[in-house]
Amino acid sequence: MFRVFIPEEYEGLGGGCFELCLVIEELSRVCSSVAISYAASALGVTPLLAYGTEEQKRKYLPDVASGKRLAAFAVTESTAGSDIGAIKTTAEKVEGGYLLNGTKQFTTNGGEAELYTVIALTDKTRGARGASAILVEKD
């Protein structure tokens, strides 16, 4: 089922937003919780699909397509809600990646996911435009 929104070159079916919405709609007829979890996994890999390197896509997307890895999207914070312009989590570039500092809450799939897209500020002076999507693997 996760193959629907993953491109064919990464072992998916190559569907787009329309096909993804059809699956979510059908899942919702039976169980809205499952539909939300499915949609959250799709949201969790959307930045990877749009902006990830070829190496990252080859490493992660086949596992998401097969259902081996579940993804999550972490944006919500206690003082900001889901307003990216008000988040406090930061990401500082360090050797080998980024150092994240902050706390997220209400992350759908958070406990089960193995791949997280964490929204954090990389340039505090730019407000919401200074936010970046940081790909994080579960330890």
Are 44 and 109 contacting, i.e. CB atoms less than 8 angstroms apart?
yes
Domain that holds residue 22: 2-137
User: What is the CB-side half-sphere exposure of residue 36 using CA atoms within 13 A?
Assistant: 8
- Please count the structural domains in the chain: 1
Q: What is the pLDDT of residue 139?
A: 83
Q: Specify the 3-state DSSP secondary structure of 52.
A: coil
* pLDDT of 1 above 90: no
Identify the CATH number of the domain in which residue 85 sits: 2.40.110.10
Mean pLDDT, residues 55-67? 97
* pLDDT of 49 above 90: yes
Are 100 and 90 contacting, i.e. CB atoms less than 8 angstroms apart?
yes
The rounded distance, in Å, linking the Cα atoms of 15 and 110 is 25
Q: How many CB atoms lie within 10 A of CB 67?
A: 11
Q: What percent of the chain has pLDDT over 90?
A: 98
Q: Which of 22, 43, 53, 54 is nearest to 113 (CA)?
A: 43
